[in-house]
Amino acid sequence: MLNSIADGVYVHESEFIQSNSTVVQGRDGVLLIDPGITREEMENLAADLRDLRLPVVAGFSTHPDWDHVLWLASFGDVPRYGTAACAETMRNFLLSVDWTTHAAELLPPEYVDDIPTELLGLITGAPRHTTAVPWDGPEIRIIEHAAHAQGHAALLIEERRVLIAGDMLSDILMPFLDLEAADPIGDYFAALDLFDALTEDVDIVVPGHGSIGRGKQLAERIGQDREYLRAVRDHRTVNDSRVGPEAPLDWLPDVHNWQVHRLDSLAVGGSKRSNH
Ligand SMILES: [Zn+2]
């Protein structure tokens, strides 16, 4: 089901860790951002858009993780954009001989039969230094940043005061750091600073997973994520409901502990840790 969140902006929420797909109405059709997870829900979304006479004219993937780069033939054969780095990561992935086996290993076992991978990752890179999605609709600014993944982009629809955050600013997931980066915590702080600079321009934040944040929630989520990062950086106990005993996702505290452990071993290995 498509929920209207702003003029010409709709969100569809998947049952798989509350993944949000966003639909933005343009002149001749819609831009589909992070299209969805299961074949059934994406077919339903395609049918809903057909009923509304809103053809998909382009796609956008916020980053090169499998749950953001799926696609269905029913959406049509249209350009599917991402950052240049996102497109390159996916191209390299698809060039590996056994990517279908590899993809199957990445997928959650309980969903593996429901997730269509035949069109996974066919992303066209927006030209480097491009600052807007190339389409005929309200201007959508591409805000690229390291933090969760290389080539990750948030999208700002300025006219609608909506920020589509990709895998950032979630109320149910703690920050998932890019542990391959030289300074994962520093990168994450830097991305939160970028979002902080937008708080006056944004009324609604759509995270890749979790609930839509309105009003002051953008600032609150930035604050919560900063506090998480400071606690991890300073080896303090993390006081965060997303990973505490009442965590809405019961597997998340384990992922959090694993992440802290990995960060500590990276630090021992000599990576610099940031101050903020
Ligand atoms: Zn995700």
Over 70: is that where the pLDDT of 101 sits?
yes
Q: How far, in Å, is the centroid of ligand 1 from the Cα of 105?
A: 16
Q: How far, in Å, is the centroid of ligand 1 from the Cα of 86?
A: 14
Over 70: is that where the pLDDT of 253 sits?
yes
Q: How far, in Å, is the centroid of ligand 1 from the Cα of 83?
A: 16
Of 36-45, 102-111, 138-147, which gets the smallest average pLDDT? 102-111
| Residue 276's pLDDT band (cuts 50, 70, 90) | low
What is the pLDDT at residue 128?
78
Q: How far, in Å, is the centroid of ligand 1 from the Cα of 143?
A: 17
Over 80: is that where the pLDDT of 192 sits?
yes
In tens, the pLDDT along 9-41 reads: 999 999 899 999 999 999 999 999 999 999 999
Of 10-14, 119-123, 188-192, 265-269, which gets the smallest average pLDDT? 265-269
Q: How far, in Å, is the centroid of ligand 1 from the Cα of 69?
A: 10
Q: Distance (Å, rounded) from C-alpha 168 to C-alpha 174?
A: 9
What is the pLDDT at residue 98?
85
Contact 153, 86 (CB under 8 A): yes
Contact 170, 241 (CB under 8 A): no
Q: How far, in Å, is the centroid of ligand 1 from the Cα of 65?
A: 6
What is the pLDDT at residue 129?
79
| Residue 269's pLDDT band (cuts 50, 70, 90) | low
What's the mean pLDDT when you consider all of the chain?
94
Q: What is the average per-residue pLDDT within 99-116? A: 87
What is the pLDDT at residue 274?
52
SS3 per residue for 80-116: EEECHHHHHHHHHHHHCCCHHHHHHHHCCHHHHHHCC
Contact 147, 182 (CB under 8 A): no
* Proportion of the chain above pLDDT 70, given as a percent: 97
What is the pLDDT at residue 81?
98
Q: Distance (Å, rounded) from C-alpha 264 to C-alpha 228?
A: 15
Q: How far, in Å, is the centroid of ligand 1 from the Cα of 128?
A: 23
Q: What is the average per-residue pLDDT within 185-192? A: 98
The answer for residues whose C-beta is within 8 angstroms of residue 239's C-beta and 6 or more apart is 227, 231
Q: Distance (Å, rounded) from C-alpha 242 to C-alpha 219?
A: 17
The answer for residues whose C-beta is within 8 angstroms of residue 88's C-beta and 6 or more apart is 125, 151
23: left (phi over 0), alpha (psi -120 to 50) or beta: beta
Buried b / exposed e across 110-135, counting CB within 10 Å, b at 16+? Answer: eeeeebbbeebbbbbbbeeeeeebeb
| Residue 115's pLDDT band (cuts 50, 70, 90) | very high
Q: How far, in Å, is the centroid of ligand 1 from the Cα of 209?
A: 7
Q: How far, in Å, is the centroid of ligand 1 from the Cα of 66?
A: 8
pTM of the predicted protein model? 0.94
| Residue 236's pLDDT band (cuts 50, 70, 90) | very high
Domains of the chain in sequence order: 3-268 (3.60.15.10)
| Residue 270's pLDDT band (cuts 50, 70, 90) | low
What is the pLDDT at residue 197?
98
Q: How far, in Å, is the centroid of ligand 1 from the Cα of 64?
A: 9
